[in-house]
Amino acid sequence: MHLMNLLLACIFALCVIAAPADFKLHSALTIPVSGSATYDADLAAAIAYARSHPTSSVQTAADGPKKKYCGRYVTTPDSDPIAQELLTDGTNVCINMKPGYTMEIVGNTFCNFCMYFDDDGCFGALVWNKGPDRDQWQRVPRTKSYICFD
């Protein structure tokens, strides 16, 4: 069993490291489902996809049309006690936190699958990943970027 885990970890690492910068998704992305036999491979593919796409900064309502609502999150430092909206624009693009801010806690209530990273551009360590859960808030300290697949 340990050998299988090591093999899967190596495959995961190779997929993430070897992802080309000009990667184009030619078929529907398989959303990783926790506990499935293909979870590690699906997660590696989703990370490779996220890292191969340009990032955008978090937009406010004044910046343009409303994006798809996934849930809510709270940042640090936070001068506004109201949680921010967790959004996706439907193009599956990595979204950065505002400079100097990190996400501290998140609740994904509506998007199929979201991943949270400790560096800009969906790089660095994967802090957490999960599909929708209406009753769960998760601590995600250090998160600087995220991607949600609707």
pLDDT at position 85 over 70 = yes
Do 32 and 113 meet the contact criterion of CB atoms below 8 Å apart? yes
List, for residues 122-135, the tens digit of each pLDDT value.
999 999 998 888 77
Cα–Cα distance for residue pair 96/50, rounded to 1 Å: 12
Highest mean pLDDT among 8-12, 65-69, 85-89: 85-89
**Least confident stretch, 6-15, 62-71, 119-128, 135-144:** 6-15
Measure the CA–CA gap between 100 and 145, rounded to whole angstroms: 12
Confidence at residue 66, expressed as pLDDT on a 0 to 100 scale = 54
* More reliable by pLDDT, 105 or 35: 105
Domain ranges of the chain: 2-149
Q: How far lies 142's CA from each of 10, 118, 128, 139, in Å?
A: 25, 5, 11, 10
